[in-house]
Amino acid sequence: MKENINLSNLPKHIAVIMDGNGRWAKKQGAMRIFGHHHGIKSVKDTVEGCVELGVKYLTLYTFSTENWNRPKLEVEGIMQLLIKTIGEEVPDLNKNNVRLKAIGDIESLPKSARKKLLDSIELTKTNTGLTLTLALSYSGKWEIVEVTKKIAQQVKSGALAIENITEEVFSSFLATGEAPDVDLMIRTGGDHRISNYLLWQLAYAELYFMDDLYWPEFRRQHLFEAIYEYQQRERRFGKTSEQLPSVKV
């Protein structure tokens, strides 16, 4: 599959909803946290797949604002897993020239998780290859409200005039920073929804839903299949087919 991918037409920004860990674990007769542990292998393989191809931005929905409502034991298990994995992975991230970032209400994470995260971000900040962003305690509506507050502050202080609020200005305040809007969004686990993820950035994303695959089963070959499928789609951005440049893969 990798050979069929057109490297000059890669999605610049891929976002993933890593769904189905709990159901995968249940299928094995195990606790839900077992599924999250196995999801780590999928995360690593996906990151390596992106590095292998030269994808610039990968954003993973790791923990949503709504996930705080899960049973306490599961939330604690995910936080422990996060602390362990983020710490252990720094050498590999550096080896692969991957810059780690995080978006979301980081202040709401347990102190130990926040510290490990910020340390790892610091240790990888000069890397220039893939930007790997973990969405943690994140939701799209939360982010839009945060942007609105920042813009309101600027208007209030006189730094920004209302008539100068444009889509570009709004985008510049998003947590994803300089990352372009999402080109391809992949969701495993069979559900066909956005689940409050990157609501602004997904405006023109191609959506790729995997009906028969839980996140712990996801490997780079699935990533390559998704990218190949993405490259077969016609992205019109509201135009007609005839208006598009005729360069086709």
Residues at the binding site are 19-24, 32, 36, 64-66, 68, 70, 187, 193-195, 206
To ligand FPP, the closest distance from the beta carbon of 37 in angstroms equals 8
Main-chain dihedrals φ then ψ at residue 27, nearest 5 degrees: -60, -30
Nearest to 204 by CA among 173, 229, 180, 176: 180
**Where would I find the beta strands (DSSP E) of the chain?**
13-17, 57-64, 99-103, 131-138, 184-187, 206-209
Of 78 and 109, the one with the shorter C-beta distance to ligand FPP is 78
What lies within 8 Å, CB to CB, of 184 at 6+ separation is: 11, 13, 14, 15, 205, 206, 208, 226, 227, 230
Task: Using the structure block, give the residue that is written with the tokens 């946290």.
Answer: 33
**Residue 43 engages ligand FPP in binding (rule: CB under 6 A):** yes
Contacts with ligand FPP, 119-138, as mask; x by CB under 6 A: ---------------x----
DSSP structure class, residue 84: H
To ligand FPP, the closest distance from the beta carbon of 150 in angstroms equals 27
Residue 106 burial by CB count (10 A; 0-12/13-18/19+): exposed, middle or buried?
middle
Stretch touching ligand FPP by CB under 6 A, among 36-44, 94-102, 121-129, 217-225: 36-44
**Residue 85 engages ligand FPP in binding (rule: CB under 6 A):** yes
**Site for ligand FPP (CB under 6 A): which residue of 59, 62, 120, 124?**
62
**Residue 100 engages ligand FPP in binding (rule: CB under 6 A):** no
Stretch touching ligand FPP by CB under 6 A, among 6-14, 19-27, 92-100, 151-159: 19-27
Reduced to 3 states, what is the DSSP secondary structure of residue 41?
helix
Residues at the interface with ligand FPP (CB under 6 A): 18-23, 36, 39-40, 43, 60, 62, 67, 78, 81-82, 85-86, 134, 189
